[in-house]
Amino acid sequence: MLSVHACPLAKLGGRDSGGMNVYVRELSRELASRGVEVDVFTRWREPGDPRIQELAPGARVIHVESGPIRYVPKAEVYARIEHFADEVERHIETEGRGYDLIHSHYWLSAVVTRQLAARWDLPTVQMFHTLGLVKREVMTEDTDGESDERTEIERRAVRESDALVAASEIEASELMELYGADPAKIRVVPCGVDVDAFRPVRQVDARETLGRDQCERLVLFVGRIEQIKGIDVLLEAMGDLFRRRPDLRHEVCLVVVGGALDPNDDAPELEKLEDLRRLVHEHRLEDNVDFIGSVDQRRLALWYDAADVCAVPSLTESFGLVALEAMASGTPVVATRVGGLQTVVVDGESGLLVPASDHQALAVAMERVLTDHRLRVHLAHGARDRAERFTWSRVGDGIEMLYDRILAARTHVEV
Cα atoms in the 13 Å half-sphere on the side-chain side of 30: 20
Note the pTM of the prediction, 2 decimals: 0.91
> Using CA atoms, how far apart are residues 36 and 58, in angstroms rounded to an integer?
7
Q: In a 10 Å sphere around its CB, with 0-12 CB exposed, 13-18 middle and 19+ buried, how is residue 393 labelled?
A: exposed
> So what's the pLDDT on residue 293?
87
> Using CA atoms, how far apart are residues 194 and 197, in angstroms rounded to an integer?
5
CATH of domain 19-192+392-414: 3.40.50.2000
- Tell me whether the CATH fold assigned to 19-192+392-414 matches the one assigned to 203-387: yes
Q: What angle do CA 288, 294, 296 make, to 5 degrees?
A: 120
> So what's the pLDDT on residue 415?
45
> Following CA atoms 63, 64, 70, 73 in sequence, which dihedral angle do they give, to the nearest 10 degrees?
-120
Q: Are strands 52-56 and 59-64 parallel, antiparallel or unpaired?
A: antiparallel
pLDDT along the chain (415 residues), means of 10: 93 74 96 98 93 97 94 91 96 94 97 94 96 85 66 97 96 97 97 96 96 94 90 96 95 89 56 82 92 90 97 93 97 96 95 97 98 97 97 97 94 60
Sign of CA dihedral 361, 366, 367, 373: positive
> Using CA atoms, how far apart are residues 101 and 198, in angstroms rounded to an integer?
32
> Using CA atoms, how far apart are residues 4 and 85, in angstroms rounded to an integer?
9
The end-to-end CA distance of the chain, in Å, is 27
Beta bridge partners of 127: 105
> Using CA atoms, how far apart are residues 310 and 305, in angstroms rounded to an integer?
10
> Using CA atoms, how far apart are residues 305 and 122, in angstroms rounded to an integer?
44
Q: How many CB atoms lie within 10 A of CB 95?
A: 11
How many secondary structure helices (H) and strands (E) does the chain include?
16, 13
Sign of CA dihedral 369, 370, 376, 380: positive
Q: What angle do CA 261, 266, 271 make, to 5 degrees?
A: 45
> Using CA atoms, how far apart are residues 257 and 254, in angstroms rounded to an integer?
10
> So what's the pLDDT on residue 145?
47
Secondary structure of residue 293 in the 3-state scheme: strand
Q: In a 10 Å sphere around its CB, with 0-12 CB exposed, 13-18 middle and 19+ buried, how is residue 381 labelled?
A: middle
Of the candidates 10, 75, 91, 78, the one whose C-alpha atom is nearest the C-alpha of residue 44 is: 10
Element of type H or E holding 181? none
> Following CA atoms 235, 264, 224, 357 in sequence, which dihedral angle do they give, to the nearest 10 degrees?
30
Task: Name residues whose C-beta falls within 8 Å of residue 323's C-beta, 6 or more positions apart in sequence.
Answer: 310, 312, 333, 335, 341, 344, 345, 351
> So what's the pLDDT on residue 76?
92
> Using CA atoms, how far apart are residues 187 and 405, in angstroms rounded to an integer?
11
- List the domain boundaries for the chain: 19-192+392-414, 203-387
> Using CA atoms, how far apart are residues 139 and 143, in angstroms rounded to an integer?
9
> Using CA atoms, how far apart are residues 32 and 85, in angstroms rounded to an integer?
24
> So what's the pLDDT on residue 138?
81
Q: In a 10 Å sphere around its CB, with 0-12 CB exposed, 13-18 middle and 19+ buried, how is residue 415 labelled?
A: exposed
**Residue range 203-387 in CATH 3.40.50.2000:** yes
> So what's the pLDDT on residue 10?
83
